A and B are shown apart, each in its own frame.
Chain A
């Protein structure tokens, strides 16, 4: 069997701080196949953004990455900065949450796309390539957009320009970190549709980082749920949102307000307590202080992420009973 496009094995991210080493990502493993959309779902402190940045070697200097991250079988962890050339922007590209901060305010959109093309080694017929890229992300009036400065564009147009820049190097993997969180809901729907379209038409693999389970279920084939730096559940996205196998995923689904058929706020079930600080992680299962199913062993023993059948993994010994 060929290697998956992206494979993370036992990835750890620790940050040096005044209080010593703080673990943000703890032995995270999952893979992304060619042309596949995988969602990495979690709340603040889950380690989803640290994982996303670790893949492209974008973490700051005081972060340490352990474990293995392979792209097409080639190890990415521990690369020197020159060894990243030909990978970042070429094979792996990123789209972040705030398009306004991803774009430079003093250059036109067209200039910034041309820079991305040059970095990707495509220096010939720039004008045509810029127009083609902008059109491929649904910007019909490419000429006007190219000569506009970021502040002259709407949030949705800005995010499309950022996506055009990401596509300049024709990457195999797009890492989209909360790409629609800063956008209005109608614009969000358009950008999600564009992501799905790019995946279909270009065979692009997408690692979608999101806190929104509905978005994850709509776009992704598989979903990896993180809590306090660990994978708690991984499985088929469409099935997981209806029949999760970890109490955290289950509780998170119940905490999301529903548009239709919902009762009042009194029926909304939040998750009691707080997300733990990485400086003070609970013993045993990291979710146990907030878990409705917690029993004595959950406080003392660290549960393993176990295979529960049909490509599904759960870090809960009661995986089969969750949601019943």
Chain B
């Protein structure tokens, strides 16, 4: 049996004023429960517009975004609040997405209070637990964003997102601003959250190898269209679209050592 679809772009077209070509053209993407999905593309491919539209921040001119089968444009009241909670976002630059004047504990506490997920007296304890879940020391709650490293800030961004117990986590280039040695830690964390907490990851990345490491399925976007979709491993090993082949060929790779030539 196939996993149920949580979030779906159902043939969406999105236009921005003054742009000759639509940012998205009849894009179909389905996020299925428990199946991490990678979205790959270069600048202008529409991958960031896709994310904004899936979050309900852009209105498609045609097509619909469906959350558990319901058009998100029609959501009101409690249903809209639930959607806003269950579909969360992690941004590329963890520094710009945290309030510099709030401590980590205040940032996490505000989310918990607004969504009434922790009683006033227990906010600090819950914030500490969240930090633990993303592999950080609970004492970091007293720190400000500028006192933290890039990897720590990205973990705070993830802690903020998972504090709402989302079903879908949209992550837009979550490791591209991080050093290689900490990238793997954050990718491992995103992977673990999927396995242990049932959060379905949608990972937007320009780096195919990052998608290959974390996602089961992937879509390749070019100029507002999905040009290829399928199991991540098959797309990478047997790409069928010329653009996908071009993209894969362009990734700098450390070539495997050739076996020694026979004498």
Binding site for B on A (CB under 8 A): 43-44, 155, 184-189, 192, 211-215, 217-218, 241-242, 251-253, 255-262, 264-266, 268-272, 274-275, 290
Q: Say if the beta carbon of B209 comes within 8 Å of chain A.
A: yes
* Secondary structure of the B contact surface, majority rule: helix
Given contacts A192-B252, A266-B191, contact A259 B212 (CB under 8 A): yes
Is B208's CB under 8 angstroms from A259's CB?
yes
Closest A-B pairs by Cβ, 3 of them? A270-B184, A265-B191, A184-B42
Is A255's CB under 8 angstroms from B213's CB?
no
Residue of A nearest to B201 (CB): A265
Is A262's CB under 8 angstroms from B212's CB?
yes
Name the contact of A155 in the complex, choosing from B43, B237, B247, B251 (C-beta under 8 A). Answer: B43
A-B contact pairs, 29 of them (CB 8 A): A184-B42, A185-B42, A185-B206, A185-B251, A186-B246, A188-B250, A189-B250, A213-B180, A252-B180, A253-B254, A255-B183, A256-B254, A257-B187, A257-B209, A257-B212, A258-B254, A259-B208, A260-B253, A262-B209, A265-B190, A265-B191, A265-B213, A268-B213, A269-B184, A270-B183, A270-B187, A270-B188, A274-B152, A275-B182
Given contacts A258-B253, A259-B209, A265-B187, contact A186 B42 (CB under 8 A): yes
Residue of B nearest to A186 (CB): B250
Is A255's CB under 8 angstroms from B43's CB?
no
Q: How large is the interface on B (under 10, 10 to 19, 20 to 34, 35 or more residues)?
A: 35 or more
Is A260's CB under 8 angstroms from B180's CB?
no
CA distance A272 to B43 in the complex (A): 32
Q: How far is the CB of A147 from chain B (nearest CB, A)?
A: 22
In the complex, what residues of A have CB within 8 A of residue B185's CB?
Answer: 270-272
Is B250's CB under 8 angstroms from A257's CB?
no
CA distance A212 to B54 in the complex (A): 32
Residue of A nearest to B194 (CB): A265
Known: A192-B252, A255-B180. 11 other contacts (CB 8 A): A189-B249, A213-B180, A215-B252, A241-B254, A252-B181, A255-B183, A260-B237, A264-B214, A266-B192, A270-B188, A274-B182
